[in-house]
Amino acid sequence: MRYRLYYWPGIQGRGEFIRLALEDAGAEYVDVLRPSGNSSFSKNPVLKQPPFAPPYLIAGKRVISQTANILHYLGPRLRLAPRNEAGRFWLHQLQLTIADWLVEVHDTHHPIGSGLYYEEQKAEAKRRSADFLSVRLPKYLDYFERVLRRAAGGYLLGKACSYADLSLFQMVAGLRYAFPVAFGRLERRYARIIGVHDRAAARPRLAAYLASERRIPFNQQGIFRHYPELDRLRNNSKKT
């Protein structure tokens, strides 16, 4: 199967979570860098099942959208997921939690509207980032560290690397880019998560991809963005 991946050009974004799985598996795929987004595609009147937004994957006659859904589909086909139903649902659940986490990362710099410039919501971004770094980020990190402790094999499912491990690698890489100070301090407490990052990065095909020109560098148009004024740890205690 030769896959076609549609995503915005010039950024890693959500497309990167799919690329990491395809690259690690050595799958044949075309990265279709569309110049102007999905509108023409999703409004195509002949498409009976239109995607809401990129990324979407073309696999034969099927068009699949929603990052976690694409990985859920690809997982067993790329040998990055178990074949049994219970295992697939558990892995997908982890991926959906990473998806929630990623939305919160995005909203640190766009808390008011994704269609507005960062400069138009900078004050709000500072407040949201402070809350994210002090409350939400440790909650996600604690959770994945706990899952890894219980899996007891070095990866989220145990000894076998899954697509969610590659996504966890990407979260660590992105957070290091976006919040070098705050995440740099936090990450020392999460040896198992950092272990997944390091083991994933050392996998031969993934290492080759990361060193290639196909890996778009992190930049200020992506989901992970580095604004020094947002990179500050602070305490937040109030509830509801």
- Per rule CB under 8 A, is residue 14 in the interface with a second copy? no
Binding residue for a second copy, selected from 1, 4, 33, 89, defined by CB under 8 A: 89
Burial track 177-214 (b if 16+ CB lie within 10 A, e otherwise):
bbbeebbeebbeebebbbebbeebeebeebeebbeeee
4 interacts with a second copy by CB under 8 A? no
> Is 238 among the residues that bind a second copy (CB under 8 A)?
yes
When asked if residue 68 is in the footprint of a second copy (CB under 8 A), the reply is yes
| Identity of the residue, 151 or 210, whose beta carbon is nearer to a second copy in the bound complex | 151
Residue 225 is a binding residue for a second copy (CB under 8 A):
no
Range list of H helices, the chain: 15-25, 39-42, 67-77, 85-109, 122-131, 137-151, 163-178, 180-186, 191-201, 204-211
SS3 158: strand
Specify the residue, 127 or 199, whose C-beta has the smaller distance to a second copy.
127
Rounded CA separation 15/51 (Å): 14
- Cβ(22)–Cβ(3) under 8 Å? yes
Q: In what order do the strands lie in the sheet with 29-33?
A: 29-33, 3-7, 56-59, 62-65
Choice between 143 and 195, CB closer to a second copy: 143
62 binds a second copy (CB under 8 A): yes
Of residues 11 and 206, the one with the C-beta less far from a second copy: 11
CA 119 → CA 111, 123, 234, distances in Å?
12, 9, 22
The verdict on 36 binding a second copy (CB under 8 A) reads no
- With contacts defined by CB under 8 A, name the span among 20-28, 87-95, 178-186, 211-219 that binds a second copy: 87-95
Among 64, 71, 196, 200, binds a second copy (CB under 8 A): 64
Report in angstroms how near the CB of residue 6 gets to a second copy at its nearest: 14
The amino acid sitting at 111 is: P
DSSP state of 220: T
Residue with tokens 């987004």: 37
Binding site residues, a second copy, CB under 8 A: 42-43, 47-52, 62, 64-66, 68-69, 72-73, 86, 89-90, 92-93, 96-97, 100, 103, 107, 111-117, 120-121, 124, 127-128, 131-132, 135-136, 140, 143, 146-147, 150-151, 236, 238-240
